[in-house]
Amino acid sequence: MEILKKIKEIPTWLRWVFRVVMAYIALLAVILASTIFVVLVTFTFIIIDFFSGSESLKGYAEENLVPISEFMWNLFTLLVPGL
pLDDT at 83: 67
pLDDT at 40: 93
Domain contains 13 = no
Domain contains 54 = yes
String of DSSP letters for 12-71: HHHHHHHHHHHHHHHHHHHHHHHHHHHHHHHHHHHHHHHHH---HHHHHIIIIIHHHHHH
Provide the domain limits for residue 31: 25-83
How many domains, the chain?
1
pLDDT tens per residue, range 9-51: 878 888 899 999 999 999 999 999 999 999 999 999 888 888 8
Domain contains 29 = yes
Residue 5 predicted with pLDDT over 80 = no
Domain contains 60 = yes
pTM: 0.76
pLDDT at 12: 85
pLDDT at 56: 84
What count of Cα atoms within 13 Å lies in the side-chain half-sphere of residue 15? 7
